[in-house]
């Protein structure tokens, strides 16, 4: 099993529903977020292009945060989801430094926090909070190893890219272009 997410940059309108849904679902403290929207404006007037991306932890296959963690608090669970065990985390900040996507933050309670691909919802057979609320249906989530999953089907028919592949982390967020 390999959980992954595909984000359709052509369908995303940048409404931020995914951000709010995540904050509500996961009790993210005010001022912090586990997912966010990036607006990438490129070109020069009048030939300007906008790309909207809903970003979060990439749940990398080769995750530097798990490697550098001195206590093993950062770990990979079934399906390739990268998680942090709160009472093993000492708050040293090494994983925050190691993430090319700046996807982790220091929770006010001391430990490091990040996107969990809503594994508590997956366990109940539901999809992630951000996917569930997306009004344009631009987020596809599922098992990459299952050819019939939403994410596999989305990746089959479209061209896509990953962010900073040169960082060598094998990220698992695929941006449909």
Partner 1 sequence: MKEELFVSGRNIPNIDPFLNIWHWEIPLYLFLGGFAAGIMFFAGLFLVMGKEKEMETTVKWAPFLVPVALVVGLFALFLDLKHQLFFWRLYTTIRMESPMSWGAWTLMIITPLSFFWAASYLKEVVPGWKWRLPVFESFEALVIKYRKHIAWLAMGLAIILGVYTGILLSAFNARPLWNTSILGPLFLVSGMSTGLAAIIWMSKSHYERSVLSKIDIALIGVELFLIVHLFMGFLAANQVQVEAAHLFLGGEFTVTFWVFVMILGLIVPAFLETLELFGYKIPMWIPSLLILIGGLMFRFIMVEAGQITRYLY
Using rule CB under 8 A, residue 73 touches partner 1: yes
Listed ranges 62-70, 118-126, 136-144, 148-156: which one lies at the site for partner 1 (CB under 8 A): 62-70
Is the Cα torsion angle 15, 158, 153, 124 positive or negative in sign?
A: negative
- Residues in the interface with partner 1 (CB under 8 A) total 49
Using rule CB under 8 A, residue 41 touches partner 1: yes
**Residue 55 beta carbon to partner 1: minimum distance, rounded to whole angstroms:** 8
Contacts 24+ apart (CB under 8 A), 59-62: 59/3, 59/4, 59/115, 59/117, 59/171, 59/172, 59/173, 60/169, 60/170, 60/171, 60/172, 61/2, 61/169, 61/170, 61/171, 61/172, 62/168, 62/169, 62/170
Interface with partner 1 (CB under 8 A), residue from 88, 136, 137, 146: 88
Residue 8 or 150: the one with the smaller Cβ distance to partner 1 is 8
| Interface residue list for partner 1 (CB under 8 A) | 14, 16, 19, 31-33, 36-44, 64, 67-73, 87-94, 96-100, 102, 105-106, 109-112, 163-164, 166-169
């Amino acid at each position: 099993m390999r959980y992954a997410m595909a984000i359709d940059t052509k369908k995303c309108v940048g409404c931020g529903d995914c951000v709010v849904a995540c904050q509500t679902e996961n009790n993210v403290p005010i001022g912090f977020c586990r997912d966010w929207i990036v607006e990438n404006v490129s070109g020069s007037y009048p030939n300007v292009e906008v790309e909207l991306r809903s970003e979060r932890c990439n749940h990398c296959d080769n995750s530097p945060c798990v490697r550098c963690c001195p206590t093993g608090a950062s770990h990979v669970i079934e399906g390739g989801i990268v998680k942090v065990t709160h009472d093993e985390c000492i708050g040293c900040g090494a994983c925050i430094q190691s993430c090319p996507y700046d996807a982790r933050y220091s929770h006010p309670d001391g430990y490091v926090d990040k996107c969990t691909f809503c594994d508590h919802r997956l366990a109940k057979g539901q999809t992630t909070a951000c996917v569930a609320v997306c009004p344009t249906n631009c987020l596809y989530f599922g098992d990459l190893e299952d050819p019939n999953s939403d994410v596999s089907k989305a990746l089959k028919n479209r061209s896509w890219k990953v962010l900073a592949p040169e960082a060598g982390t094998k990220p698992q967020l695929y941006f449909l272009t």
